[in-house]
């Protein structure tokens, strides 16, 4: 099974900061890597699919990069509404795995 290592597990940042989260796969997953945002009490929301493609309606301050085993998720300038937990997710037919999550807090 493919394991996903997401880091950091938590992060404190201020409004306007650049925030970076990484996800590493134990095997090559090409670009089958997606990123989600989850706010308390809400369902997750898809932000980035295929490693670097912005989902429709998602602000352009969110971006993703990487392929193979190493992936990066970036918020270019943190906004107050971005305080949430972020997850990566990989698809390796027939199995699906989520990263452990990164809790983003306001410094």
Partner 1 sequence: EVQLVQSRAEVKKPGESLKISCTGSGYIFTTHWIAWVRQVPGKGLEWMGIIYPDDSNTRYSPSFRGQVTISADKSLSTAYLQWSSLKASDTAIYYCARLARVFRAFDIWGQGTTVTVSS
Binding positions for partner 1, rule: CB under 8 A: 1, 31-32, 34, 36, 38, 43-46, 49-51, 53, 55, 87, 89, 91, 93-101
CB of 32 to partner 1, least distance (A): 6
Give me the least distance between CB of 71 and partner 1, in Å please: 12
Q: Which is nearer to partner 1, 22 or 53 (CB)?
A: 53
- What's the min distance (Å) between Cβ of 31 and partner 1? 7
Question: For partner 1, which is the closer residue by CB, 17 or 58?
Answer: 58
CA dist 85 and 95 (Å) reads 23
- Distance CA(3)–CA(26), nearest Å, equals 5
In contact, 69 and 24? CB cutoff 8 Å: yes
Query: Which residue number, 50 or 59, has a Cβ lying nearer to partner 1?
Result: 50
Q: Judged by CB, which is closer to partner 1: 17, or 67?
A: 67
- Distances from the Cα of 35 to the Cαs of 20, 23, 71, 85, 107, in angstroms? 12, 10, 10, 11, 23
CA distance 57 to 77: 17
């Amino acid at each position: 099974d493919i394991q996903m290592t997401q880091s950091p597990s938590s992060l404190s940042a201020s409004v306007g900061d650049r925030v970076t989260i990484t996800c590493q796969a134990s095997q090559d997953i090409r670009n089958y890597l997606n990123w989600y945002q989850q706010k308390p009490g809400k369902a997750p929301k898809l932000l980035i699919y295929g490693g670097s493609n912005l989902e429709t309606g998602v602000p352009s301050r969110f971006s993703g990069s990487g392929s193979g085993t190493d992936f990066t998720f970036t918020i270019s300038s943190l906004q107050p509404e971005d305080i949430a937990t972020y997850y990566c997710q990989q698809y390796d037919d027939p199995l699906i795995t989520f990263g452990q999550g990164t809790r983003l807090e306001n410094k």
